[in-house]
Amino acid sequence: MELVPTIRAHIEKYMREQNLKLQHFSDITGINVGTLSAILKGSRPMSMNQLNQITSVMGLEKGYFYESYGVESFIESAPHWRRLEPYLYGCAELGKLDCIQQVITHVTDDRSYIEELFDVAESFFARGLKEAALILYECVADSEKYQHSERLALCQYRIFLLHKTMSKFDNLAAAVQLEPYVAKLDEEIQLDAVKDLANVYNTIHHWDKVYELAEELERKVDFQLELQSRRRKNKERIAFYPIFTYKAYANLLKASVCEARKQYEKALEYTDVYVNVIEISNPTEEEQELIERFKGWAQGNRYLYHLMNGNHEVIEPYLNYLDANPHEILTAFVNIVQAANQHSLDIDSALYRFDPYIKQFNTNMHLKGTYNMQMLNHRYIRFYYELAKYRLNQQRYATGIDTLLTSLELSSSSNDDLMSIKSIDLYGKFRMYVTNQQDEQYTRLIEGLSSQNFGIRIKSV
């Protein structure tokens, strides 16, 4: 087996090639000559700062020696937190995840660093270094001795947040794994965890579970509001949002469940509830911003529920509302076109009016971050599916099939198997009207679906 040169050997070779004496190398690196001598003799460990200084002087990119440093300092030698912590930060900032994984797997054999690793994971999470944070959370969770600890529960919650993907099956598995730990979280953090669980179940249309979690969320909020009325006003909030907004959100979730079940009158009742919840006195700037957001949702949702209930007269005021709230256009038009299909409405004028916005759907021009990405992507798919159905019912077969193929392509690329099946089924009903070019595109999409592991079997229509 060929031995890998040590960092010290690389430095000594560089000094020989550049004909550098120790004092000169000390001068250009800024490292004390005695310290440098001890490092080269192997009698003193090198700090991360010294490693970066030497790497820069040698004309190498930052992080060039990180893998070797990890092996020499933490695997072949006894790890020391004073060097390990800056090493983890350095690797995370440069995206050297393999280095983190290699070192952490070895270090967590000794449980003495579990608490410090968890704190670093929390720091990474707060700074958006998500992949590095995930490695640490998973290692801490695997090594956690006290299986009922709050730290373990928080690790599982962070893992859940970081593991969410565009795959509904993966999200469901992550939700199921998190649920047993929710009750072990801090009581305020439980509000965020239950909300996030409900959002995941919402994306996979598990309406009974969404409603159950909404009720659980409301119970937890009521308890927190009662506590809040008793304790000192300046206590720092742990939950991400003001506490009362979770009660409003719980009723928004219930309204969305009623909408899915076509219980529009009940959905309107829950809308009234969350509008009443947000009526608080002397709101802060943050609270006022959230209050306005809920009021906007309520206004748009009332138009929606009336429209879906067959009240066609609300279309015009609904469109006027969308003019003032362009970030709601995608969500609104999914439902407007669905209502048109359900009640045989002619909405061509509405589609023409908002055509510039509709053309931007699923492009970088569309506002990002307004919705959870899974929910946003699903709305794109649903819009094109409903629009395809609308065009096909109008006997506009060419544009209808093109739009349907867009829906199938999007559902395929995002692993949305349910919408893929619905698109395939609708295509089969109108296959007699497709062109050769459209059928070739459809075949390519089906071949792509067949090569993916959906847990379902795709057949050509």
Tell me the domain boundaries of the chain. Answer: 351-461
Cβ–Cβ < 8 Å for 92, 132: yes
pLDDT at 131: 93
Tell me the two tokens of residue 173.
Answer: 């598995």
- Three-state secondary-structure class, residue 223: helix
Residue 67: closest CA among 101, 25, 44, 32: 101
How far is the CA of 445 from the CAs of 166, 377, 414, 429, 459, in angstroms? 18, 18, 13, 17, 12
Cβ–Cβ < 8 Å for 408, 420: yes
Tell me the two tokens of residue 281.
Answer: 């006195």
Query: What is this structure's pTM?
Result: 0.80
CA angle, 227 then 231 then 235, to 5°: 105
pLDDT mean over 14-37:
91
Q: How far is CA 421 from the centre of its chain?
A: 25
The answer on pLDDT for 365 being more than 50 is: no
Cα 424 to Cα 407: distance, rounded to the nearest angstrom? 10
Which of 113-117, 298-302, 411-415, 417-421 is most confident?
298-302
The answer on pLDDT for 368 being more than 60 is: no
How far is the CA of 339 from the CAs of 157, 160, 355, in angstroms? 38, 35, 18
Number of Cβ within 10 Å of residue 343's Cβ equals 13
pLDDT mean over 304-313:
89
Residue 109: closest CA among 159, 75, 147: 75
Cβ–Cβ < 8 Å for 266, 272: no
Cβ–Cβ < 8 Å for 228, 242: no
pLDDT at 121: 95
List the single range of 127-131, 415-419, 434-438 with lowest mean pLDDT: 415-419
Q: What is the chain's alpha carbon radius of gyration, rounded to the nearest angstrom? A: 29
Cα 70 to Cα 76: distance, rounded to the nearest angstrom? 9
- Quickly tell me which residue has 């093109």 as its tokens: 402
- Report which of residues 458 and 218 the model is more confident about: 218
Cα 91 to Cα 100: distance, rounded to the nearest angstrom? 7
User: Sorting pLDDT into bands at 50, 70 and 90, what band is 225?
Assistant: confident
pLDDT at 263: 95
What proportion of the chain, given as a percentage, has pLDDT over 70?
Answer: 90
User: Sorting pLDDT into bands at 50, 70 and 90, what band is 369?
Assistant: very low
* The total number of residues written for the chain in this structure: 461
Burial level of 453, CB count in 10 A (0-12/13-18/19+)?
Answer: exposed
Cα 128 to Cα 348: distance, rounded to the nearest angstrom? 44
Each residue's pLDDT tens digit, 162-197: 886 656 677 788 888 899 999 999 999 999 999 999
CA angle, 137 then 147 then 200, to 5°: 55
Cα 122 to Cα 92: distance, rounded to the nearest angstrom? 13
In sign, the C-alpha dihedral spanning 65, 67, 68, 74 is: positive
pLDDT mean over 99-125:
88
Cβ–Cβ < 8 Å for 183, 356: no
Cα 451 to Cα 458: distance, rounded to the nearest angstrom? 10
Instruction: Give exposure, 7-30, as e/b (b: 16+ Cβ within 10 Å).
Output: beebbeebbeeeebeeeebbeebe
User: Sorting pLDDT into bands at 50, 70 and 90, what band is 232?
Assistant: low
Q: What is the mean pLDDT of the chain?
A: 87
**Residues 6 or more apart in contact with residue 245 via CB below 8 angstroms:** 278, 287, 290, 294
